[in-house]
């Protein structure tokens, strides 16, 4: 199905807005060990956040690096890997005006608040207002939106975590794109193409 049709289908998916969603995710629990498919709970987005239904995601070598890590600060488990993806906005938190339900978006690891000196500068794109140094939680309040069915917190990675059917991303890490672009190409724009690091791309997965 073309991405434009997927966007239209999801414009009617408001019944889940404001509610906890149960979905499947590939969870990394032990460094270097196979990911485990589990059912998880994804909280609604808080103020300044966006909940996204992932349509397509790819695997970057950086994900492999986090998966293999055995030493802090990178070795944080359990966690949901993945940061190259494209999806549809399922719902938004308070104060979010940049995107709305049904928009096709890229979740990106590098934020852009559009307000700080660095985001406004033509010489820098490293946001200094929302700096997430731990790479395992939401940038505004340091909490998480994922947990397993036993209530254990599941950490995210690089502000995205796309190896799940639904994720929550800060709006500063979301870019709206045209629905005309094929999903398997769009998902590469959030890291591999934008960084010029084509060799890191391993595979592409369509979420069905």
* Within a domain: 154: yes
In 3D, which of 102, 88, 104 has the Cα closest to residue 12?
102
* pLDDT for 128 beyond 80: yes
* Within a domain: 11: no
In 3D, which of 60, 62, 81, 75 has the Cα closest to residue 30?
75
* pLDDT for 141 beyond 60: yes
89 or 11, which is more confident = 89
Max Cα distance, the chain (Å): 47
* pLDDT for 11 beyond 60: no
Q: Contact at 8 Å (CB) between 85 and 56?
A: yes
* Within a domain: 3: no
The rounded distance, in Å, linking the Cα atoms of 126 and 128 is 6
Structure tokens at 141: 């309040």
Domain containing residue 129: CATH number? 3.90.180.10
Q: Which pLDDT belongs to residue 54? A: 96
* Within a domain: 7: no
* Domain span holding position 135: 21-196
Burial class (CB in 10 A: 0-12, 13-18, 19+), 74: middle
**Mean pLDDT, to the nearest integer, of 109-133?**
82
* Within a domain: 10: no
Domain count, the chain: 1
* Within a domain: 206: no
Q: Contact at 8 Å (CB) between 155 and 73?
A: no
What is the separation, in whole angstroms, between the first and last Cα of the chain?
11
């Amino acid at each position: 199905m073309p991405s434009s049709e997927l966007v239209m289908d999801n414009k009617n998916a408001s019944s889940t807005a404001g509610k906890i969603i149960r979905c499947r995710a590939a969870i990394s629990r032990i460094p270097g060990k196979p990911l485990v498919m589990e059912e998880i709970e994804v909280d609604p987005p808080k103020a300044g956040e966006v909940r996204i239904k992932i349509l397509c995601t790819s695997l970057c070598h950086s994900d492999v690096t986090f998966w293999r890590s055995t030493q802090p600060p990178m070795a944080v488990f359990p966690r949901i890997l993945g940061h190259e993806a494209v999806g549809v906005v399922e719902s938004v938190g308070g104060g979010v005006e940049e995107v709305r339900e049904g928009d096709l978006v890229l979740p990106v690891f590098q934020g852009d608040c559009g307000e700080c000196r660095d985001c406004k500068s033509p010489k820098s794109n490293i946001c200094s207002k929302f700096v997430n140094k731990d790479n395992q939680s939401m940038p505004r309040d340091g909490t998480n939106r994922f947990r397993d069915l036993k209530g254990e917190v599941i950490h995210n990675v690089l502000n995205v975590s796309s190896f799940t059917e639904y994720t929550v991303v800060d709006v500063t890490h979301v870019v709206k794109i045209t629905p005309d672009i094929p999903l398997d190409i769009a998902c590469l724009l959030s890291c591999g193409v934008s960084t010029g690091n084509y060799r890191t791309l391993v595979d592409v997965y369509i979420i069905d």
